[in-house]
A and B are shown apart, each in its own frame.
Chain A
Amino acid sequence: MRCKTCPGKAVIETRRHNAAFCKDCYLVHVERQVVRTIDGDTMLTPDDRVLVAVSGGKDSLTLWEVLRRLGYRTTGFHIVLGISHYSPEARRTVEAYASIHRLPLIVTDVKEEYDFSIPELAEYTRRVPCSACGLSKRYLMNRTAREAGFTVLATGHNLDDGAATLLGNLLHWQTEQLGRMAPALEATHPKLVKTVKPLIRLTERETLAYAMLRGIAYHDDECPNAVGATSLFYKDILNQLELASPGAKQSFYFGFLKKARPAFSAAHSESLELRECEVCGQVTTTETCAFCRMMDLARRTAAARNS
């Protein structure tokens, strides 16, 4: 198989583009896709201070690598989740990447800061681990970005993540979430930070190929808590569609953004009243934010068990 743009031998085929690329042309192709995404949604400017959420996996390190190569002012943000053998290795991977490229890195250990690891939070609050983890990440990412003076928070979500989240939100008619789905979300409150997803045009397979071809030493273990996760099931279904109909994920996700999201967004534009959490001061729609409610329940459950 030959490269679409030069006479070289292809190393990857992307059926949704009806194309194949050699190593060099593929790396250029991916970086152009990210530039197109950033420019198309006005995600970043050269003046921005960008906090990049990095788990150590292929997507987040690919994001950091591309933003670094494009010359943006980035700082990594890694959350230590306290998940058995998985978290220490993830932290080592991120610290090694930051050290090699001399990039600043902020590390927050959930257990050190809040007394509970993610598995403990899940157990004490009877949440599934991915729910406790997602809530904690969203809270800590915004709080850290705002308090440290960053203008934008960038995450490594890819097209598979976007399409799987869309499928889940549609199956359960989560209309508020559907209205908020976007690759770039402007800050709608002084205590919220703009969030962007510069990899949203790339499939997970494409970011994996980029990470491998660039020689990025990423952490390739799957989180033990993700086994059987609904998101994996949705991604599998979507990849079956993609196999039968190349471009299906792209059409599904970007078609939604263009043709349906505005209606969901408009329907909920007046119903969301933002306020500050009475405990921590972070932005919420209720008196106490979901993170503080989760922490309160965990503390009460732990105290009851120890008494």
Chain B
Amino acid sequence: MKVIIRRPRREVEMSGSRRVRDLLQELQINPESVLVVRGSELLTPDEVVKDEETVEVVPAISGGAADEV
């Protein structure tokens, strides 16, 4: 499977199917700080991503100045 990770953008190839929670654990990504999407579909941790599929890890956290404008 192909995993696209944003910020900084990189692509990781992994062989075999995996549950989302295992995929994040292998990549050492905290599930509290991201969402995993397949196309436009949000995936829960128990979802299985198949070998031929592509998923994207979208970071939820943004920083900077204390006031959001």
How close is A25's CB to chain B, nearest CB, in angstroms?
Answer: 13
> Which residue of B35, B40, B45, B66 is within 8 Å of A134 (Cβ)?
B66
Q: Are the CB atoms of B64 and A223 closer together than 8 Å?
A: yes
Is the CB–CB distance between B68 and A53 below 8 Å?
Answer: yes
> Which chain B residue lies CB-closest to A155?
B68
Chain B 31-65, CB within 8 Å of chain A: the 1/0 string? 11111010011111111000000000011111111
CB distance A13 to B44 under 8 Å? yes
Indicate if the CB atoms of B61 and A236 lie closer than 8 Å.
yes
Contacts of B37 in A (CB 8 A): 212
The reply to whether A243 and B69 contact each other, CB–CB distance below 8 Å, is no
Q: Any chain B CB within 8 A of the CB of A138?
A: yes
Q: Which residue of B lies closest to A53 (CB)?
A: B69
Q: Are A226 and B62 in contact (CB under 8 A)?
A: yes
Identify whether the interface residues of A are mostly helix, strand, loop, or mixed.
helix
Which residue of chain B has the shortest Cβ distance to A20 in the bound complex? B44
How many cross-chain pairs have Cβ atoms below 8 Å apart between A and B?
117
B10 at interface by CB-CB < 8 Å:
no
Q: Decide yes or no whether A141 CB sits under 8 A from chain B.
A: yes
Given A12-B44, A20-B44, A212-B42, A239:B32 Cβ within 8 A: yes
Is residue A275 within 8 Å, beta carbon to beta carbon, of the partner chain? no
Expressed in whole angstroms, the minimum distance between the Cβ of A133 and any Cβ of chain B is: 4
Please determine whether A205 and B62 come into contact, CB atoms closer than 8 angstroms.
no
Looking at the complex, which one of B7, B34, B40 makes contact with A222 (CB distance below 8 Å)? B7
User: Any chain B CB within 8 A of the CB of A117?
Assistant: no
Given contacts A13-B45, A242-B32, contact A226 B64 (CB under 8 A): yes
Q: Which of A31-39, A40-48, A227-235, A284-292 contacts B (4 or more CB under 8 A)?
A: A227-235
A-contacting residues of B (Cβ < 8 Å)? 6-7, 30-35, 37, 40-47, 58-69
Q: Provide a sorted-by-A list of 21 A–B residue pairs whose CB atoms are within 8 angstroms.
A: A1-B45, A1-B47, A11-B42, A57-B68, A59-B68, A130-B64, A134-B65, A140-B69, A161-B68, A204-B62, A205-B33, A207-B60, A208-B35, A213-B42, A222-B7, A223-B64, A232-B62, A235-B33, A235-B61, A236-B30, A240-B30
